[in-house]
Amino acid sequence: MTTAPAASDGATTRPRRRLPMFTEVVLALVAVALVQAFLVKPFGVPSRSMEETLRVGDRILVNRLDGSVGRGDVVVFGHGETWQERSLPGSSNPLVTVARWFGDLTGIGPSSTAYTVKRVIGLPGDQVACCSSDGRVTVDGEALDEPYVYEDLPFAAGSLDCASSPRSTRCFPEITVPAANLLVLGDHRSQSADSVIGCRGAADGPECVRLVPTERVVGPVVLRFWPLADVGGLPHGP
């Protein structure tokens, strides 16, 4: 017994056309660029200045949708060779220029901007100083509770403090944070090149401080996603 072939209505099944590989790559890069520009952006932690909150090699996500910055937030900000410059100097090497462009677009490889992660301590208008009688940072005269601080600089009330000679290097003079700027410190205070690195042990003068323009802040760190054993949010400050 034979089976008759099924009747055909003339329709044919056409294979689905795939986009050219180059187009797929371009669309993928555009998608990555849009996500990093408007949603979240990944960063790697390059130094020990935020230990034990963040360690060298940790990978973190910054929320680009959150334009607000509060005291105690851990933030990433961009800068050039100094914190006041927007970007790094240009390179005469075209390969470096292309690599930086690709890094700016995708977050992979070198970038035309340097990035630093620190904790916000002083907001515009705040008066920040160190130290209280027990060695704590003060904001508007109130001592902060900072359980995240790791390996602080030496301080001993009555023998090595802000009234002794020499002064404790934990101490720095009162600094009034100007408008549109932030004062930031590292959690690993003894290993952090932060806003008051030039003020440590000084008795006078706010000119020693270096501040972060608020426009340079990429956003607050909302998640550590690597290593897998430490995935989660970060402890918030005062």
Is 80 exceeded by the pLDDT of residue 20? no
Q: What is the pLDDT of residue 23?
A: 62
| Per-residue pLDDT tens digits for 94-113 | 998 888 887 777 777 788 99
Q: What is the DSSP letter of 130?
A: E
**Which of 13-27, 72-86, 94-108 holds the top average pLDDT?**
72-86
22-232 has CATH 3.30.365.10 classification: no
Block residue for tokens 């426009």: 215
Q: What is the pLDDT of residue 42?
A: 87
Residues of the chain with pLDDT > 70, as a percent, come to: 82
Domain ranges of the chain: 22-232
**Average pLDDT value over all residues in the chain:** 87
Alpha helices in 55-208 (DSSP H): 94-106
Q: What is the pLDDT of residue 84?
A: 86
- Rounded to two decimals, the pTM is 0.83
For residues 142-180, b (16+ Cβ closer than 10 Å) or e, as one string? ebbebebbbebbebeeeebbbeeeebbbbbbbebebeee
Q: What is the pLDDT of residue 38?
A: 46
| Per-residue pLDDT tens digits for 127-157 | 999 999 999 999 999 999 999 999 999 999 9
Is 80 exceeded by the pLDDT of residue 210? yes
Is 70 exceeded by the pLDDT of residue 16? no
Average pLDDT over residues 176-185: 97
Q: What is the pLDDT of residue 48?
A: 97
Cα–Cα distance, 188 to 16 (Å, whole number): 57
